[in-house]
Structure 1
Amino acid sequence: MNRASNDSVGEGINAAAGSADVAAAAKPLASVADPVAKRRPGAFAVAARLLRIAVRGELWPILAGLALMLSGALVGLLQPWPLKFIVDALAGGTKPPPLLTHIASVLPQGAGPHGATLAYISVLCVGLLLISIVSAGINLLSTWVLVASGLRMVFKLRCRMFDHIQRLPVSFHDASTVGDSLYRVTWDTYSVQSLFNQGLVPGITATVTLVGIAFVMVRQDWSIGLVTLLVAIVLVVLIRRLEKPTTELSTAVHEHESSVSTRVQQTLVGIRAVQAFGREAFESDRFAQQASKSLSASLRLTVLQTAAQSGVAILFAFGTAAVVWLAARRVIAGQMSAGDVVLLAGYAAMLFKPLETLSYTANSIQGSVAGARRVFEILDRRSSVADATNARMLDHRPQGEVVLKKVSFGYRPGLPVLREIDLRMPPGSAIALVGPSGAGKTTLASLLVRFYDPLAGCITLDGGDIRGITLESLRHNIAIVPQEPVLFDASIGENILYSRPHASGADLEAAARSAGAWEFIQSLPQGFDTPVGERGVLLSGGQKQRISLARAFLKDAQIIVLDEPTTGLDAQTEADLLVSLRRLMAGRTTIIISHHFSTVRFVDQIIVLERGHVVQRGTHEALIKEPGLYQSLYRLQHGEPVAEAP
């Protein structure tokens, strides 16, 4: 189902979303919004692009964090050496390093023949402790710096995504679900932190650690170093083999999780209908079906990742066994000391963690790439409704002459909604669009605001094509009162000020008085500070409509669009609202879309639409006497007999 986006200028509505015109035409034309390029970039290209975007403004913190991280890794490589020297001291037969011997000599020597040895071992134990403390402290600091950078990257990417997605044309939002867009902005953007903090950073650390371990082992014995390199090569091959299935499963998890989010959002938005029809069990089943798909994909991904980690564990066992076996042979041959065996065994044990980290890092990167691709699907989408290169700003209040010249439009190929519409609205005039549902009334108004652009013909404002005017200045001069008022979960005052945030208190009060909302607002204990609830659920229909009308008064635009402004109101509320509407229309070019003849009878001209064509024009008094669609609709609404078609 379509979920409308908010008008970026401040009216906060989607005049086309949810209307009969859009429902009749289903999804929009491919030409209405530019499709995302179909060529799928590789995982490396996606990851590199994501990092290029994310690291802007974070270069120095990242470099500092990486320097600390590498320092911590290098210090950590010293840990097996004190153990080697301790074993050598206990076994005898090897000469200890002069520096350590000198340090031990200045310490108090214990009694007995082994006093000097114990002092030496004490120095080594203190050194082992210091190495662990320094390494842990550096790693803690580097982790804080790099994680903070990762979170700031998410923040900036989220803001960029939100800013971009709300500027995409209405056609995009008609074809998308709110749940999917919400998931992309709130969760897929975490791919940058996952890529950086769970992929790139630990990957660099693990690589440096592996290189250091391999270097020490090669220096100790080339054959043992060769075993280490062999294990690393097998790991690289394993990771490459798992890259494609991991990416595919990660993408499937993201897509299914997005669908779960969409299902929850749609059910909660329609909760009144769900409860009124007693469909809770049905919705629970639908949710469970969608969640089970996500569960299945997640389980398959978990099995694959667990298998990869098990493969790393087997590689570790093989490497450790080979290292210890080869080292033992060297000791027996008198080519190594017992301490060397401990040193190599220690490095073999250390080898497991970076190998495991690289395996996990590979999985994390693939998952990040899946989320990043969904982010770029949005960021790469360009709007077909955009400012022309030479678009001009409306730096003055327009007179308000609106002309449609041979305007045609359709949401899908071969299904036109409007066909060669010609219409002229003089400045300050009021016209009404009347016709059956799906005739194209709301679509015509949507073209004026440039939610869409015509497929043929043009619309002019004061003689100039509206496509030559910047979107911001065009929409700044148009105010919309929608059929279903769009109120945000804020106060009454904040909702009215949405059309002109910096208006004064006096202007706010004047707008509320003009809209007939002042009395009911003042009767509330908190006045303008009264919260309206999500979508205005704490207010009545008439109150919501008056707040929407006050928003239009405050905007003070020259062109007004009233889309079914009195729908769902009782007779007295409708009559009171019409008085306010006529005040708003005074001196402004106004388009009224309505099925209520009480709303349109005082306009200058009525345009009757049927199947995208203008079939009648005239005033209410003239059309009511003329046989045709308008007369038939009028009689149906007033319970009068309608002549049957021959």
Structure 2
Amino acid sequence: MNEPEIPDEVPRGKTFQITARMVRRCMPGEVRGLVLGLLLLLVASGATLLQPWPVKIVIDSVIGKITPPALVQWFTALFQNSDSAGHSGIALLTLLCVGLLLIELIMGACHVFSSYVLNSVALRMVFKLRCALFDHVQRQSLAFHDAKAVGDSLYRITWDSYCIQAIFSEGLMPALTSGLTLLGIAVVMLKLDWHVTAAALAVAVPLIILVRRFDRPMTEQSLRVHEYESDVSTRVQETLVGIRAVQAFGREQFESDRFRSQASASLLASLRLTVLQTASQAIVGLVLAAGTAAVIWFSARGVLLGRLTAGDLVLLVAYVAMIFKPLETLAYTAAAVQNAAAGAHRVLTVLDSQPDVTDAPNAKNLSGRARGEIIFDSVSFGYQANQPVLRELSLTIAPGSTIALVGTSGAGKTTLASLIPRFYDPLKGGIKFDGCDLRDLTLKSLREQIALVTQDPILFCASIRENIAYGRPGATQEEIEAAARAAGAHEFIERLPEKYDARVAERGLTLSSGQRQRLAIARAFLKDAPVLILDEPTSALDAETEERLVQTLEKLMKGRTTIIIAHRLSTVRCADRIVVLQNGRIAESGPHAELLARDGLYARLHQLQFGEPPTATAEAAL
């Protein structure tokens, strides 16, 4: 079957739509924090507008002879006593300096608190987005994970999820603050002199053109950086997971060279992005410098013509510095949003992908303990189009019976077993479980009836107790120990310093193969499911350990519908029926002795492994 390819290219002109979708997705529950942060930013913007006014009044009314504004006169009179009546200039100067400090204090406090509030909101959004990504990825069908590298999914969850923080902290919030400041300054400047205001705002036109010119290249390059970083993450993950093979074959230098190659590609992509960003910033700086020169020229001309005061000149120049800062911020914000949109697109493509295997709208729960009857009816399946693995296969597995699946590599043994818990759905035909089509049952209730023991036991970085109870978290200590005893694991666990509280290293590497397998079998014992799938559970073990584990597995299989997948035919002799697969079809089936007597494919496989003539072996079996 084919998992739909997830496109990682940001659609042309879709930066705004992608950003808006991400914001809408993360917004619920954060409105109050955003409103509080915006109110604080609004106060800070207002204080910013007042910042240059004390200096203007000092120049015009303390040094010069222009009457100060009425409000300033009232405050001056309020704090001036009769003894200082002759020193009104000093009182006014003192008041203006105190006012300047208060304005800075208000600005600073509002910026600190708004930064805390808005960053808290952004980080909570990152948390929610990460959780949503993790939940969505682990619920994807195995076809999704077959097609995607683990490192790529890891990078999207751990790093691309920060796109929402970048959108708010480096995009929307600075843009909103700059927009409010820009609007306020433009209104005040228009009242002072429209010529100067027009010269200042004229800069916005080339800035917009520049932003649009650099939009697409920076978005595309940013996406390349994300992809290369994902490749680097995948390379590190694969190398560390396979570190034993790397060291055993002396391939450290080879892996280092491969890592350097991918890391250098990421470095070059990042450098190209940096060149684009710095080039856009340099051009923006040049445009702003031209705007500043024009404003100074018009302002000074206004003073020479008597249209403006010296204080107005200082105020306008200060506002020009302020108005160009928001314009510059808006230009840089566009680059930040484009970069974040690349990560947001990678996140949304995962969240938009739907699993192949889902519950039907009217799916029902299996009630009670299943009998364990499984019927394959003309089942066909393939991982890739036009490459079938199973072909029109029909098979009935009776409740409580043991079926062994054997055959050469690629015959379809593991694939057949993987269809039972609905890791995949057949392309044709159907599978019934206790008379119900698998697709009519909920995945949760179906999988609760199945225990799985694989060739490479999956253990987690947790205590031995937690690993055994993974399929039944509410189990008591007595039940866990009973399962461990049944699996022959209790003795080695008791020899550990921390016993059942001992931590299992990643992938259980501090335990032997036999110990890991016994923990997996103990997990199956504890789950006590009516259906048991054993996928080559002893293939990685030595003969002595295998013999002991086979005895343990026979206890586990008793009273359960069991499907054994095996290359080692010594482990399938106890099966009620052996099903031999060849090219996705059943070549033959029957008990061990009967198949040997037929002198067919099973007999040939048996002879290849044991070197005994089929006839002699069949007579010995009988």
The TM-score bracket by the shorter chain reads over 0.9
Q: 1:61-210 counterparts in 2 under 5 A?
A: 61-107=33-79, 115-210=87-182
Between 96-105 and 160-169, report the one with greater CA deviation.
96-105
Aligned to 1:410: 382
Per-residue deviation at 1:33? 5.4
Whether the 8 Å CA contact 1:33–1:171 is kept in 2: the answer is: no
Matched, 1:552 2:561: no
SS at match of 1:412: coil
8 Å CA contact 1:110, 1:116 repeated in 2: no
Separation in structure 2 between the aligned mates of residue 61 and residue 413 of structure 1, nearest angstrom? 50
Map of 2:618 onto structure 1:
none
The structural deviation recorded for 1:407 is 0.8
Aligned partner letter, 1:473: S
Q: Does 1:241 align with 2:182?
A: no
Q: Report the alpha carbon displacement of residue 329 of structure 1 after superposing the two structures with TM.
A: 1.1
Do the aligned residues in 2 keep the contact of 1:58 with 1:149 (CA within 8 Å)?
A: yes
Partner of 2:505: 533
Structure 1 equivalent of residue 620 of structure 2: none
Look up the SS of the partner of 1:448 in the other structure: coil
1:113 Cα deviation from its structure 2 partner: 11
**Contact persistence 1:489–1:535 (CA under 8 A):** yes
Q: Could you say what secondary structure the match of 1:454 adopts?
A: coil
Residues 360-375 of structure 1: pairs in structure 2 closer than 5 A: 360-375=332-347
Write the distance in 2 (CA, Å) between the matches of 1:135 and 1:218: 24
Equivalent residue, structure 2, for 1:599: 571
1:351: how far off?
2.1
Q: 2: distance between equivalents of 1:577 and 1:526?
A: 25
- Which is worse superposed, 441-450 or 236-245? 236-245
Change in Cα spacing, 1:39 to 1:245, as seen in structure 2 (3 Å) is closer
2: CA distance, partners of 1:105 / 1:553: 90
310-319 or 213-222, larger mean C-alpha shift: 310-319
1:635 equivalent among 583, 588, 607 = 607
Q: Whole-Å Cα distance in 2 between the matches of residues 414 and 226 of structure 1?
A: 67
C-alpha change, 1:343 and 1:378, in structure 2 (3 Å) is same
Pairwise CA distance, 1:108: 6.0
How far 1:397 sits from its partner (Å)? 1.2
The answer as to 2:540 corresponding to 1:568 is yes
- For 1:272, the equivalent position in structure 2 comes to 244
Question: Could you give the per-residue CA deviations for residues 229-275 of structure 1, whole angstroms, max 9, x where no partner exists?
Answer: 21122222221221111110111111111001001111111111111
Helix, strand or coil: the match of 1:432?
A: strand
8 Å CA contact 1:597–1:634 kept in 2: the answer is yes
Shift of 1:99: 2.9
Distance 1:266 1:289 in 2: 15
Q: 1:351 aligns with which of 315, 323, 340?
A: 323
Deviation for aligned residue 1:102: 3.6
Quick check: 2:200–2:294 contact (8 Å CA) kept in 1?
no
Partners in 2 of 1:633 and 1:110 — Cα distance? 116
* 1:614–1:286 distance in 2 versus 1, CA, 3 Å: same
Given that 1:94 and 1:337 are in contact with CA atoms closer than 8 Å, whether structure 2 keeps it comes out as no
CA contact (8 A) 2:606 2:614 kept: no
Distance 1:33 1:390, change over 3 A: farther
Structure 2 contact 382–389 (Cα < 8 Å) conserved: yes
How far is the alpha carbon of 1:103 from its aligned partner?
A: 2.9
Change over 3 Å in CA distance of 1:93–1:332 after alignment to 2 = farther
For the pair 1:577 / 2:549, whether they are aligned, the reply is yes
Matched, 1:495 2:467: yes
User: Could you report, residue by residue, the CA deviation over 1:383-423 in whole angstroms, capped at 9, with x for unpaired residues?
Assistant: 12111111111122111111111111111122111111111
TM superposition shift of 1:318: 1.5
Give the C-alpha shift of residue 176 in structure 1: 0.7
Equivalent position of 1:470 in the other structure = 442
Q: Distance in 1 between matches of 2:174 and 2:279?
A: 20
Residue 116 of structure 1, CA deviation: 2.3
TM-score by length of 2: 0.96
1:229 aligns with 2:229: no
Q: Are the counterparts in 2 of residues 109 and 119 from structure 1 also a CA contact under 8 Å? A: no
* Residue aligning to 1:342: 314
Query: Secondary structure of the equivalent of 2:553?
Result: helix
What are the within-5 Å matches in structure 2 for residues 389-404 of structure 1?
389-404=361-376
Query: Could you say if the C-alpha distance between residues 626 and 289 of structure 1 is closer, same or farther in structure 2, counting changes exceeding 3 Å?
Result: same
Instruction: Look up the match of 1:443.
Output: 415
Structure 1 stretch displaced more, 194-203 or 566-575: 566-575
State the partner residue of 2:431. 459
Superposed counterparts of 1:610-629, under 5 Å: 610-629=582-601
Could you tell me the TM-score, scaled by structure 1's length? 0.92
Any conservation in 2 of the 1:109–1:116 contact (CA below 8 Å)? no
Give, as a single letter, the amino acid of the residue that structure 2 aligns with 1:275.
Answer: Q
For residues 574 and 135 of structure 2, the distance between their equivalents in structure 1, rounded to whole angstroms, comes to 41
Cα offset, 1:125, TM superposition = 0.9
Between the aligned partners of 1:562 and 1:338, the Cα distance in structure 2 is 89
Separation (CA, whole Å) in 1 of partners of 2:364 and 2:466: 31
2-side partners of 1:207 and 1:109: how far apart? 43
The C-alpha deviation readout for 1:23-74, integer Å capped at 9, x for no partner, is: xxxxxx32x5586699948111111110001111001111111111111111
Q: Residue deviations 1:503-530, cap 9 Å, x none? A: 1112111111111111111121211111
Is the deviation greater in 69-78 or in 532-541?
69-78
Give the deviation of 1:212 after TM superposition. Answer: 1.2
CA distance in structure 2 between the aligned counterparts of 1:599 and 1:537, rounded to whole angstroms? 25
Q: Deviations over 1:350-393 (max 9, x none)?
A: 12321221122101110111001101111111112111111111
| Preserved contact between residue 486 and residue 548 of structure 1 (Cα < 8 Å) | yes
Q: Which residue of 2 aligns with 1:21?
A: none
Distance 2:177 2:113 in 1: 14
Question: How many residue pairs end up in the alignment?
Answer: 614
For residues 309 and 112 of structure 1, the distance between their equivalents in structure 2, rounded to whole angstroms, comes to 52
Contact 2:455 2:540 (8 Å CA) reproduced: no
| Contact 2:599–2:614 (8 Å) recurs in 1 | no
**Distance in 2 (alpha carbons) for counterparts of 1:33 and 1:449:** 22
Q: Give deviations 1:326-366, integer Å, cap 9, x for gaps.
A: 11111111111100000001101112321221122101110
Read off the aligned partner of 2:420 and give its amino acid letter: L
Greater displacement, 622-631 / 420-429: 622-631
| Aligned-partner Cα distance in 1 for 2:378–2:398 | 17
Residue identity matched to 2:391: R
The question of whether the paired residues in 1 share the 8 Å contact of 2:465 and 2:500 is answered with: yes
Q: Which amino acid aligns with 1:469?
A: L
Q: Deviations over 1:302-345 (max 9, x none)?
A: 11111222122222212221111111111111111100000001
Q: Deviations over 1:458-477 (max 9, x none)?
A: 11011111111111111110
**Percent sequence identity over aligned pairs:** 53
- The DSSP-based 3-state class of the residue aligned with 2:588 is strand
Secondary structure at 1:438 match in 2: coil
Match of residue 291 from structure 1: 263
Contact 1:36–1:381 under 8 Å retained in 2: no
Instruction: Return the offset for 1:498.
Output: 0.7
Secondary structure at the residue paired with 1:501? coil
Name the SS of the counterpart of 2:578 in structure 1: strand
Amino acid at match of 2:332: Y
51-60 vs 99-108, which moves further: 99-108
- CA distance in 1 between counterparts of 2:99 and 2:339 reads 41
* Rounded Cα–Cα distance in structure 2 between residues aligned with 1:135 and 1:38: 41
Q: Quote the residue 2:348 is aligned against.
A: 376
